[in-house]
Amino acid sequence: MSTAATLHVDDFTAAGTSSWTGGAFGGGLPTRQSSGGPGGAGDAYLQVATTVNHLATYNSSSAWTGSFAAVDAGVVRLDMRNAPGSDPLQMRLVLFGPGSTNVRWNSTAAHTVPADGDWHNYEFSLAEESLTRVAGVGTYADLMNGVVRFMLRHNPTPSATGVNVTATLGLDNIELAAAAPPTSPADFNGDLTVDDVDLGIWAAAYGLTDAGDANGDGASAGADFLVWQQQRVFGAIGAVPEPQSLVLAALAATALAFVPSRTATRSVTAAA
C-alpha cells in the first residue's frame, strides 16, 4: 500500500508555493502573492494565470499523494477568487493514479467561479459517487489507495484534458480533510455522541419545543425518546446514567400518552 497522504491545509503563509506547480499546455506557473487573500492585507495566496490556454495547478508532494483511504480523506475545501475581466471558470478536481498519470478521475460536478473579484469558499467531495473516471482503468478503491498527483483544473465537462481559457485565479486555504462522520437525529447537542445528555435535552423539551425532535415531525414527544433509545449505542458512551427527576417526569408523561383512558375506551365501545 502507498504511504498515506496527510490531512492538512495549504495557506501559503510560508514562502514558496507549497509544492503547487503547473505550466503544462502553455499555462503559467503558479506564483505566491504576499497579500490580498481572503483575510485581506497580509494574507498570502496562490495565483494561477493563463491566456487562451489551459488553467491548472497540481501537487505531487507526499502531502497530496499516496493513500487517501488510510487517512479517511473525504473532502477538499478551498477558497477561490476569479479576477474581474477573466472568463468564468468551471473548476474540478483531477486525481491521478494508481501507478501513473494515465489513470485520471474528475469531479463529476464542477464549481463555477464567477469573475467578480470576490473570494468564495468551495467544497469538493471525494466520495465515489462524486468522482468520474475519465482515462485509464481501475477502481475507485485503487485510486484512493494510490493517488500519484492531485490537480485543480478548469474544465466545463469531465474529461482527461482541460480546455483553453483566459483567467487569473486565486487559491487559498486548500484543505484535505476527513469525511464528516455520520450524524444521528438523536444527537440533539451535536457532539457526535448519543448519550444521557441528549436524553436530558429531550426531557426538557418534551411537549414544549422541538429541541428533542429526532423524527422530524416538529415536536419533542414519546416517539423521539424511542429514536434516542435505539441510537444511544452511537459514539463512545458507556452505560446510561439513572435519569434525573425531570427525565422521569417526562417518561411518565410519555407512558401515559400511550395508555387510553377508560372514558375513551367506553366511548369507542359504545360507538361500535
Check residue 142 and report its DSSP letter: H
Q: What's the confidence (pLDDT) of residue 250?
A: 56
Q: What's the confidence (pLDDT) of residue 63?
A: 97
Cα 254 to chain centroid, rounded: 38
Low-confidence ranges of the chain (pLDDT < 70): 1-2, 23-27, 182, 233-272
Angle, helix 245-257 to helix 196-205, in steps of 10 degrees: 60
What are the C-alpha distances in Å from 186 to residues 160, 197, 242, 252?
A: 44, 11, 18, 20
Q: Which domains does the chain have, with CATH numbers?
A: 8-178 (2.60.120.260), 196-271 (no CATH)
Q: Name residue, grid cell 408523561.
A: 253
Burial of 130 (0-12, 13-18, 19+ CB in 10 A): middle
Secondary element (H or E) of residue 270: helix 262-271
3-state DSSP helix/strand/coil % of the chain, to nearest 5: 20, 30, 50
Angle value at C-alpha 156, between 120 and 77, nearest 5 degrees: 35
Q: What's the confidence (pLDDT) of residue 264?
A: 38
Cα 252 to chain centroid, rounded: 41
Interacting residues of 266 by C-beta distance below 8 A, sequence separation 6+: none
Angle value at C-alpha 109, between 105 and 112, nearest 5 degrees: 120
Q: What's the confidence (pLDDT) of residue 145?
A: 97
Instruction: List, for residues 178-212, the tens digit of each pLDDT value.
Output: 987 767 888 988 887 899 999 999 999 999 999 99
Pairwise CA distance, residues 21 & 82, whole Å: 18
Q: What's the confidence (pLDDT) of residue 143?
A: 98
What are the C-alpha distances in Å from 237 to residues 38, 149, 216?
A: 40, 40, 24
Q: What's the confidence (pLDDT) of residue 27?
A: 60
Closest by alpha carbon to 36, among 168, 213, 137? 168
- Tell me the whole-structure pTM to 2 decimals: 0.71
Check: CB of residue 107 under 8 Å from CB of residue 207.
no
DSSP 16-39: S-TTEEE-GGGPPPPEEESS-BTT
Q: What's the confidence (pLDDT) of residue 247?
A: 54
